[in-house]
C-alpha cells in the first residue's frame, strides 16, 4: 500500500516518487504527482527554492496480494463483451520532451520573435500525433501524466481543443489553428504581477480584476504578429467569454464569440478543474465533467456535445466501484454516455449497461 511522507528536498534520492505536483510561477505543473525523481529534477527543485515535499512510500504489499478475484461468469462476460476504445491521441516520449521544452521557452520569453516558430513547431507535433493513429478521442488520465514532467496547462488545453475541433468536423488547418490558440491562450498571464499569479488563496476583487485582464494582454501581445491569424488572436481574447454574456473581458454573447473560443473555453475550464494547485485540490474527472454538463447557459451546446463525445473517462479494462457496492470492469464505452459505460461485476458476473438499460438507472460509478 502507498503511504505519504514529508521530507526535506535536500534529502531526496533518485528513484523516490513525488506525491504532489510541483508548479511554476504561472501555476503550471512542472513535475507530475507520482513522478520518479532523478538528479536533475531534484536539483531543479532545490534551485527553485522548494524546501520540502511529500513523497510516496510503498509498505511492501504487492499488487498481486491486493488484486481482485474475478468469477468464471464475470471472466466469460468480459471476454465476450470487451470492445476496444476509440483511437486515442498518444504522445511519444520524444514528442513530450519537445513540447515541454517549447512551451517552457514560449512562456519564459513571451516577447521573443521566435515565439511564432516555437508555437507552430509544437502545434505541428500535436497535429502529427493526432493524425498518426487517426485519433478521435482522449483518455484524460493518460493525457495528464507522463513519467517525468507533466504537460503544461496550455498543452493540455491545446490537445483537448484539437480533438474536439476534429470531432466537430473542422478541417486540418482549423484544427491546427485552434492548437496554436490553446498553446498561447494564457500568454497574457506573463504580464500579471507574480504576487497575484502565485497567491496561495482566493483573489480579492481588486486582484481578480487585474487577473481578468490577462486575455486582453495576450491579445495585444499576438494580434500584430504575422504568423498569428485573426481567429487565433480573437480566441486568446475571448477564451473566458460565456454565451450568456457573463464572461470577460467584454461580456459578449454567443453570436459574437468566435467558434474556436467556444471550444477552447470548455477545454480550459475542464483542465483547470482537474488540475491540482497549491491552493486547491483537483476535482475528480467525473465531477469536472458533471460541472461542464451543468453549464448549458454559459457554454456553447454544440462545443459541449463534441467535448463530451471526445472524452474517455473510464478506459476499457479499468476497475470501478458501483453504487451497489460491487467492483466492476469496464468493457465498453459509449460516446453519448461517457459517465455510464458498460461494465461487468467482478463477483456476480452481471452485465451493467449503465448508459442504455433503464434497470441500471439507479446505479452509478462512484
Q: Which of 286, 310, 334 is the last residue of a domain?
A: 310
Quick one: 186 and 48 in the same domain? Answer: no
289: which 3 cell numbers?
Answer: 465533467
Do 13 and 113 lie in one domain? The reply is: no
State residue 134's pLDDT score.
82
Residues 227 and 355 in one domain: no
> Model-level pTM?
0.78
The pLDDT score that the predictor gives to residue 127 is 93
The pLDDT of residue 29 is 64
Tell me: do 239 and 338 sit in the same domain.
no
- Domain match, 75 and 47 both: no
Residues 47 and 191 in one domain: no
Of the three residues 294, 310, 326, the one that is the final residue of a domain is 310
pLDDT digit of tens for each residue in the chain (366 aa)?
567 777 888 888 888 888 877 776 666 667 777 788 877 778 877 877 787 788 887 654 434 334 578 899 999 999 999 999 888 887 776 777 788 788 888 888 898 989 889 999 999 999 998 988 788 887 766 654 333 333 468 888 999 999 999 999 999 999 999 999 999 999 999 999 988 887 878 889 999 999 999 999 999 999 999 899 999 999 999 999 999 999 999 999 999 999 999 999 999 999 989 877 766 778 888 899 999 999 999 999 999 999 999 998 888 988 999 999 999 999 999 888 899 999 999 999 999 999 888 888 888 887
* Count of the separate structural domains present in the chain: 3
Residues 46 and 105 in one domain: no
Segments forming the whole domain that contains residue 39: 3-67
Tell me: do 224 and 156 sit in the same domain.
yes
- Residues 52 and 175 grouped into a single domain: no
Statement to judge: residues 62 and 76 lie in one domain = no
- Give the pLDDT confidence score for residue 197 in this predicted structure: 83
CATH of the domain at 14: 3.90.105.10
CATH of the domain at 176: 1.10.3210.10
CA distances to 115, 117, 198, 291 from 234, rounded to whole Å, are 18, 20, 26, 26
Do 177 and 39 fall within a single domain?
no
Q: What is the pLDDT of residue 63?
A: 47
- Three-state SS for the chain is CEEEEEEEHHHCCCCCEECCCEECCCCCEEECCCCECCHHHHHHHHHCCCCEEEEEEECCCCHHHHCCCCCHHHHHHHHHHCCCCCCECCCCHHHHHHHHHHHHHHHHCCCCCCHHHHHHHHHHHHHHHHHHCCCCEEEHHHHHCCCCCCCCHHHHHHHHHHHHHHHCCCCHHHHHHHHHHHHHCCHHHHHCCHHHHCCCCCCCHHHHHHHCCHHHHHHHHHCCCCCCCHHHHHHHHHCCCCCECCCCCCCCEHHHCCHHHHHHHHHHHHHHHHCCECCECCCCHHHHHHHHHCCCCCCCHHHHHHHHHHEECCCCCCEEEECCCCEEEEEECCCCCCCCCEEEECCCCCEEECCCCHHHCCCCEC
Task: Say yes or no: 209 and 145 in one domain.
Answer: yes
Amino acid at each position: 500500500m502507498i503511504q505519504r511522507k514529508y521530507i526535506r528536498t535536500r534529502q531526496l534520492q533518485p528513484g523516490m516518487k513525488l506525491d504532489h505536483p510541483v508548479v511554476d510561477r504561472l501555476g503550471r505543473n512542472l513535475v507530475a504527482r507520482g513522478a520518479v525523481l532523478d538528479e536533475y529534477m531534484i536539483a531543479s527543485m532545490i534551485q527553485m527554492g522548494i524546501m520540502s515535499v511529500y513523497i510516496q512510500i510503498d509498505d511492501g504489499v504487492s499488487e498481486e496480494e491486493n488484486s481482485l478475484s474475478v468469477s468464471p461468469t464475470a471472466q466469460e462476460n468480459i471476454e465476450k463483451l470487451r470492445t476496444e476504445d476509440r483511437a486515442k491521441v498518444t504522445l511519444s516520449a520524444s514528442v513530450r520532451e519537445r513540447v515541454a521544452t517549447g512551451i517552457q521557452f514560449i512562456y519564459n520569453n513571451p516577447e521573443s520573435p521566435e515565439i511564432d516558430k516555437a508555437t507552430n513547431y509544437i502545434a505541428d507535433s500535436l497535429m502529427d500525433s493526432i493524425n498518426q493513429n487517426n485519433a478521435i478521442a482522449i483518455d484524460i488520465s493518460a493525457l495528464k501524466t507522463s513519467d517525468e514532467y507533466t504537460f503544461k496547462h496550455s498543452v493540455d488545453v491545446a490537445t483537448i481543443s484539437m480533438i474536439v475541433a476534429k470531432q466537430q468536423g473542422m478541417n486540418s488547418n482549423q484544427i491546427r489553428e485552434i492548437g496554436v490558440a490553446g498553446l498561447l491562450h494564457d500568454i497574457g498571464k506573463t504580464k500579471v504581477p507574480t504576487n497575484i499569479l502565485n497567491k496561495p488563496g482566493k483573489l480579492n476583487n481588486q486582484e481578480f480584476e487585474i487577473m481578468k485582464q490577462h486575455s486582453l494582454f495576450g491579445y495585444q501581445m499576438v494580434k500584430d504578429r504575422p504568423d498569428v491569424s485573426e481567429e487565433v488572436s480573437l480566441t486568446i481574447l475571448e477564451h473566458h467569454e460565456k454565451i450568456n454574456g457573463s464572461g470577460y473581458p467584454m461580456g459578449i454573447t454567443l453570436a459574437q464569440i468566435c467558434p474556436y473560443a467556444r471550444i477552447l473555453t470548455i477545454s480550459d475550464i475542464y483542465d483547470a478543474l482537474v488540475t491540482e494547485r497549491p491552493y486547491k485540490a483537483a476535482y475528480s474527472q467525473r465531477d469536472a465533467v458533471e460541472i461542464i454538463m451543468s453549464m448549458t447557459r454559459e457554454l456553447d451546446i454544440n462545443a459541449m456535445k463534441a467535448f463530451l463525445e471526445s472524452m474517455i473517462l473510464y478506459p476499457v479494462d479499468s476497475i470501478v466501484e458501483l453504487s451497489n457496492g460491487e467492483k466492476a470492469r469496464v468493457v465498453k464505452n459509449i460516446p453519448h454516455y461517457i459517465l455510464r459505460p458498460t461494465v461487468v461485476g467482478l463477483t456476480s458476473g452481471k452485465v451493467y449497461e449503465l448508459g442504455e438499460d433503464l434497470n441500471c438507472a439507479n446505479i452509478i460509478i462512484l
